[in-house]
Chains A and B, each alone.
Chain A
Amino acid sequence: MTKNLAGTDLDVNEEGYLTDMTQWTEAVAEAIAAEEGVGPLAEGHWKVIRYLREQQAKGAALTIRGMGKSGVVTTKELYDLFPGGPLKKSSKIAGIPKPVGCI
């Protein structure tokens, strides 16, 4: 399905996750964040978002434990930055697929 955010038509799945991460822009991230009740996006958010996109591009599996150990953000900070489902919300804002792991 298609969704218009920040003036662009984006391919998204039924949960609103971008299906093509190349369609992502910073303006799109801001728009998704606003929908998710996160933000306004500050440097702390962007660090996480950039890290997620790098990891996704590498094909790495994302876990909450891995995030805490990344050196980019602590577990506490991650929960504070993206309240109500930190990994899910940050992934959505970063324009990458919903994480599938249980950890």
Chain B
Amino acid sequence: MSTPSQPVKKICLIVSRGSLDGVYPALIMANGARMEGIEASVFFTFFGLNALVDKTLDHLKVPTVGNSALNMAMPMLGLPMTMPFPTWLGAIPGVSAFATHLMNKEMDKLDIPPVREFLELISDSGGKLYACKLAMDMFKLKREDLCDRVDDVLTVGQFYEEAAGEGSHILFT
């Protein structure tokens, strides 16, 4: 590849959802950025904080209700990808946990780490992990409720300051 004149130097990802599939893309993008020598920071807001709370981050789930693309996971059950997954089925207790188990197994095969290890990986690689101050207040969370890899609790303004710089990009996920 030729060297672009305006390379991406920094990526700032905002995670607003707290399901497994809501969190992983940003973690993968952040880690991938660090692997390329691109700076990365991840700002967890609203339900995205689910991935930073020490007690919950090991238990993120794949939603099986209201997830109209769950047919994508049908091949994991040996069924065709074109088969829709009925919403009523997703509401049965244990189905979301089972779907999560299947998904985690597939991800492990691809060497995608569990959330906690992924946060450690990003943090060790020099990526930054931030929690949203307003969302912390809303969910009545304190700094000590969060995993110890979190770099800071930031206001929106502080996050934009952190995101400043030439070649820096902000992405909402």
Contacts and interface: CB of A to CB of B under 8 A. Distances in A.
A70 interface: no
Contacts of A66: 111
Contact of B125 (A15, A64, A88): A64
B157 to A, nearest CB: 29
Interface residues of A, number: 20
Nearest to A62: B111
A61 interface: yes
A66 B37 CA distance: 18
A15 B36 CA distance: 14
B124 A65 contact: no
Given A61-B111, A66-B111, A68-B124, A102 B32 contact: yes
A86 B124 contact: no
Given A64-B125, A68-B121, A79 B111 contact: no
B28 interface: yes
Given A84-B37, A85-B37, A103-B31, A65 B125 contact: no
Interface string B23-65: 0000010011011110000000000000000000000000000
Given A85-B36, A86-B35, A88-B36, A101 B125 contact: no
Contacts of B111: 61, 63, 65-66, 101, 103
Contact of B34 (A61, A74, A79): A79
A33 to B, nearest CB: 15
A75 B36 contact: no
A83 to B, nearest CB: 7
B2 to A, nearest CB: 9
B110 interface: yes
Contacts of B34: 79
B126 interface: yes
Contacts of B36: 85, 88
Interface in B104-130: 110-113, 117, 120-121, 124-126
Interface of A: 15, 61, 63-66, 68, 74-76, 79, 83-88, 101-103
Interface of B: 1, 28, 31-32, 34-37, 110-113, 117, 120-121, 124-126
The 3 closest A-B pairs by CB, nearest first: A84-B37, A75-B124, A85-B37
Given A65-B111, A86-B125, A102-B28, 10 more contacts: A64-B125, A79-B34, A79-B124, A79-B125, A83-B37, A84-B37, A85-B35, A101-B111, A102-B32, A103-B32
